[in-house]
Chain A
Amino acid sequence: MFFNSLLFVASLIVFNLLYHFQGQLLKRWLLIIAGIGFAWSFSGYDAFFLVAAFLLNQAFILLGASFSKKWLTVGIVANILALFVWKYSWFTYTIFAPEADKLSHPWLNFVVPVGISYYVFRAIGNLIDIRNGVYKPENSWLNAAVYFFYFPIFLQGPVERARTFIPQLNENAVFSWANLQKGIEYFLSGLFLKVVIADRLGVFVNDVFGSVEDYSSGAVFLSVVFYAVQLFADFGGYTRMAIGISTCFGIRLMANFNRPYFATSITDFWRRWHISFSSWLNEYLYSSLSFSFRNLQQMGAVLAVILTFLVSGIWHGVGVPFIIWGLWHGIGLSVEILSRKKRKKWANKFGKKTWNFLGGVTTILFVLAGYVFFRSESLAKAVQVYRQIFSFSSGKFIGDDFDARFNLATGALLAILFLISDYFNDKNKLQLYLESRVFTKRLAWCLILLLGIVFFGMYLVPATFLYFQF
């Protein structure tokens, strides 16, 4: 069950009606049951894994507190191994046996449990925090369970930290109309981004990536640009919905995006894109690696960055294109590390505005080039996309039917409007502006979003999200 399905929206309304009238203890139990139920809506297997992962992690925390901190390290290794075995064992095996047949090796070919990449990363972060003394685990298993099973962040994050999430539960938030109103606004704007913008752009992107050779160079390039907007609207939309749902319960979640496509460097891009995940990598992986390699000076930082982004690529998906995408960003950041002083001199020479503009254009082109690998299911497909773009051929630009043309025209218009609004959304200004308006104006805005969703939304089956696959 995805956030953009009618069943989910109906269940959410019923859950809210039930939730807000209960005491704090029952609220916690309701969130736990909802979390397990949400995982169960995908399959019993997914719910079983989630519960098993929680119990095992709690056991490691208990052993760490009762006996030795080494148990926390064992827990961290166990989480990494679990993720590796369930997600990458088949891919690793095929590196050594490329002709291997999936059917004859069922013990290597596991079904990846839904949400595993996210809850395992949250669990690892929690164990590291406890081991480093950054966070002292509570005695309350109930609070720990609410954090682990919390359904708004189960599928695609944000990769929330236990040390910021669990203390909020002890604030015992009570029902607030202001939170409910804000939550609904967030949820609707997220749903609008997903079903009106992302899914509409996705039609053109899927058509072009489905038969690259039939399309002109311009169309293929445009599909990569549209994919960038689609991915942002899709994942950003999901995050807004998660934040909206959580706001209704009085629980604050991390921001995941901050105008990423207006970044002025690749380093800046990673401070703005998928922030909860990139800050996780920075905090738990890069900082340890760069500390270990610190005597290598700048080359130590380069090595740490490349390894961190290799892990990022592998986390995002199984296959060579994701590894190349990770390395692509790792190399880009390395170039920025090595040219830091020179770039500063050039920035002074050109002036800040010109330099930021040039940096912005270079960064977006770099990010788009990486998306070709991110979107392609194989290396051969990525190469084909590049060949088609640089062949400067004049094939088909768009399908002949009215639907395809309508989709492209409205998709392009909405993409432009979305990017313009994002440009002005520095520090969430637009939401804050909305919150300063009177109730009737806010209600009118919600109605506009709702009408947009009903009349211009695309209702795809299955109603999936792009980042769900990771």
Chain B
Amino acid sequence: MSETLVLEELSVLFKDVLDNGDISLLSSTTAEDIDEWDSITHMMLVVEIEKKYAIKFTASETRGWNNVGELVKSILQKKS
């Protein structure tokens, strides 16, 4: 599983959960860049990511990502 693939899969997931077809994620994307991404939708995204990759995050992990790139790394670490 590559970083690019996870990024593409996450873009689809973000579009669906946040109901915004214009989202195109980059490693540098942060919550500031997407209007719909706030503390409420953040947890909805976490749930969907956990389901999709069959992984479980800890509370501190969900608070620690500074951008999408760090989220992708976290997913890859758990899948390796």
* A283 to chain B: closest residue by CB: B63
**How far is B41's CA from A267's CA once the two chains are assembled, in angstroms?**
12
Question: Which one of A132, A133, A294, A340 contacts B43 once the chains associate, using CB atoms below 8 Å?
Answer: A294
Check A290–B60 contact: CB distance below 8 A.
Answer: no
Check B44–A297 contact: CB distance below 8 A.
Answer: yes
Determine, out of A97-105, A244-252, A298-306, the stretch whose residues face the partner at the interface.
A298-306
Question: Which one of A286, A295, A298, A340 contacts B39 once the chains associate, using CB atoms below 8 Å?
Answer: A286
Mask, B8-47, CB within 8 Å of A = 1, is: 0000000000010000000000000000001111011011
**How far is B38's CA from A298's CA once the two chains are assembled, in angstroms?**
14
Q: A341-B19, A344-B19 are in contact. Are A287 and B40 (CB under 8 A)?
A: no
Check B60–A301 contact: CB distance below 8 A.
Answer: no
* B39 to chain A: closest residue by CB: A282
Closest beta carbon of chain A to B9's beta carbon, Å = 20
Residues of B within 8 A of A337 (CB): 40
Question: Which one of A267, A294, A298, A305 contacts B46 once the chains associate, using CB atoms below 8 Å?
Answer: A294
Check B43–A288 contact: CB distance below 8 A.
Answer: no
Q: Which A209-247 residues have a C-beta within 8 angstroms of B?
A: none
Consensus secondary structure, chain B interface: helix
Residues of A within 8 A of B44 (CB): 297-298, 301
How many A residues are at the interface, by size bracket?
Answer: 20 to 34
Residues of B within 8 A of A301 (CB): 40, 43-44
Closest beta carbon of chain B to A255's beta carbon, Å = 16
Check A291–B40 contact: CB distance below 8 A.
Answer: no
Closest beta carbon of chain B to A87's beta carbon, Å = 27
Mask, A320-355, CB within 8 Å of B = 1, is: 000000000000000001001100100000000000
**How far is B39's CA from A134's CA once the two chains are assembled, in angstroms?**
18
**How far is B43's CA from A458's CA once the two chains are assembled, in angstroms?**
48
Check B63–A294 contact: CB distance below 8 A.
Answer: no
Consensus secondary structure, chain A interface: helix
Q: Which A263-309 residues have a C-beta within 8 angstroms of B?
A: 267, 282-283, 286-288, 290-292, 294-295, 297-298, 300-301, 305
* A282 to chain B: closest residue by CB: B39
Residues of A within 8 A of B59 (CB): 287-288, 291-292
Check A133–B60 contact: CB distance below 8 A.
Answer: yes
Residues of B within 8 A of A292 (CB): 59
Question: Which one of B19, B41, B47, B62 contacts A287 once the chains associate, using CB atoms below 8 Å?
Answer: B62
Check A132–B63 contact: CB distance below 8 A.
Answer: yes
Q: Which A133-167 residues have a C-beta within 8 angstroms of B?
A: 133-134
Residues of B within 8 A of A133 (CB): 60
**How far is B60's CA from A286's CA once the two chains are assembled, in angstroms?**
13
Residues of B within 8 A of A287 (CB): 39, 43, 59, 62-63
**How far is B63's CA from A133's CA once the two chains are assembled, in angstroms?**
11
* A304 to chain B: closest residue by CB: B43
**How far is B38's CA from A337's CA once the two chains are assembled, in angstroms?**
11
Q: A267-B38, A286-B39 are in contact. Are A294 and B60 (CB under 8 A)?
A: no
Closest beta carbon of chain A to B71's beta carbon, Å = 15
Closest beta carbon of chain B to A282's beta carbon, Å = 5
Closest beta carbon of chain B to A82's beta carbon, Å = 25
Q: A132-B63, A297-B44, A298-B44 are in contact. Are A290 and B39 (CB under 8 A)?
A: yes
Given pairs A287-B43, A340-B41, 8 additional interface contacts (CB within 8 A): A282-B39, A283-B63, A291-B43, A291-B46, A294-B46, A298-B44, A341-B19, A344-B19
A interface residues (Cβ-Cβ under 8 A, vs B): 132-134, 267, 282-283, 286-288, 290-292, 294-295, 297-298, 300-301, 305, 337, 340-341, 344
